[in-house]
């Protein structure tokens, strides 16, 4: 099963179900908005497989994007198992981070 994150209509990211869940779990303990964190936990726990950022409060959207931009790839490098596919998975996480810029969330894109 695959997972889908819609950053805005026309800008989305798909991943395997396991990577989708990991990407949401990365956020759950970090979010200051516990209602949003609980919503993400519900998505993971029930295997719902999709997250539409535009249904979340604007401050939660910004916080999610900030966490992805400032820690997702590094966490993936450190936490995901070392397999022959790890470099591809890290590249895919970078695509999600890049999509946050394509979706128009404020911030400066890190060239590295």
DSSP string, 28-51: HTT-S-HHHHHHHHHHHHTT--EE
Q: How far apart are CA 64 and CA 42, in angstroms?
A: 16
Neighbour tally for 36: CB within 10 Å: 19
pLDDT tens digits along 5-63: 999 999 999 999 999 999 999 999 999 999 999 999 999 999 999 999 999 999 999 99
- Rounded to two decimals, the pTM is 0.91
Nearest to 37, CA basis, from 27, 22, 45, 52: 27
Q: How far apart are CA 84 and CA 96, in angstroms?
A: 21
Specify the 3-state DSSP secondary structure of 24. helix
Looking at residue 10, the DSSP 8-state letter turns out to be T
pLDDT tens digits along 89-107: 999 999 999 999 999 998 7
Are the C-beta atoms of 32 and 63 separated by less than 8 Å? Answer: yes
């Amino acid at each position: 099963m695959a997972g889908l994150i819609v950053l805005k209509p026309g800008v989305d990211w798909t991943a395997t179900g396991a990577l989708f869940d990991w990407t949401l779990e990365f956020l759950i303990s970090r979010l200051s908005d516990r209602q949003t964190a609980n919503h993400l936990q519900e998505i993971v726990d029930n295997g719902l497989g999709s997250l539409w950022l535009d249904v979340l409060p604007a401050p939660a959207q910004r916080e999610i994007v900030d966490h992805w931009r400032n820690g997702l790839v590094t966490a993936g490098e450190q936490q995901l198992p070392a397999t022959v596919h790890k470099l591809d998975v890290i590249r895919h996480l970078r695509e999600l981070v890049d999509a946050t810029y394509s979706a128009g969330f404020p911030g400066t894109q890190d060239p590295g």
